[in-house]
Amino acid sequence: MTVRGGSPLDDVPGAQRTALLRSGRAYVTARDLCSRWECSHATLYRWIQGGYAPKPIRFGPRSVRWAVKDIEEFERRPATDSGTR
């Protein structure tokens, strides 16, 4: 999986970004994550089903997001022999 540099919050102004990160309320959508990892929605959900990517947080029946802190933590972990992170 290829990860582009930078944080999903790079476009958020400094003070607002800091507040979001401190509160633990910074979230990204599947579209944001697919763009970051350069993969399709189908691939993202296949990785989740296989345990290769973090599970999303459900906000409603049709709304899921990933916490930025979880994504950044996941990206910092080294890959294992099986190709997972």
Q: What is the pLDDT of residues 51-81, one digit of tens each?
A: 899 999 998 998 999 998 889 888 888 766 4
Mean pLDDT, the chain, as a whole number? 78
Q: What length does the chain have?
A: 85
DSSP assignments along 39-50, one per residue: --HHHHHHHHHT
| pTM given for the model | 0.63
Compute the radius of gyration of the chain from its Cα atoms: 13
**pLDDT recorded at residue 2:** 42
Contact 33, 1 (CB under 8 A): no
Is the pLDDT at 22 greater than 70? The verdict is no
Mean pLDDT of 29-56: 94
